[in-house]
Amino acid sequence: MQLEQTLVACRTCTVDTRTKAIERVIKSMRERLDYPFSLHEMAEIAVMSPFHFNRVFHHVAGIPPRLFMGALRLRKPRNSC
């Protein structure tokens, strides 16, 4: 029983850590919409390997990071003249 509780606590901690890492990347994307982030750069912000980051981002956000970045750019308010 105690092992089960420990595993659940570890799982919760892992999910929280991964979610915070993805939130850091999304914050960076929003702050620099014009910057062409590479997968490697996004993974560095999340402190993950590019492959693992891509998988975790897709799991947390529901879409791959490049698609997410494209959607953010499309929603970017345009300056009206």
Domain boundaries, the chain: 18-72
Q: What is the pLDDT along the chain (81 residues), one digit of tens a residue?
A: 665 665 565 578 888 899 999 999 999 999 999 999 999 999 999 999 999 999 999 999 999 999 999 999 998 776 655
Is 48 in contact with 21 (CB distance < 8 Å)? yes
List phi, psi (to 5°) of 63.
-140, 160
**How much is the pTM?**
0.80
> What six digits make up the tokens of 74?
């499309």
What CATH number does the domain located at 18-72 have?
A: 1.10.10.60
- Taking CA 43 as the corner, what is the angle to CA 41 and CA 45, rounded to the nearest 5 degrees? 75
List phi, psi (to 5°) of 10.
-65, -40
Q: How far apart are CA 3 and CA 20, in angstroms?
A: 26
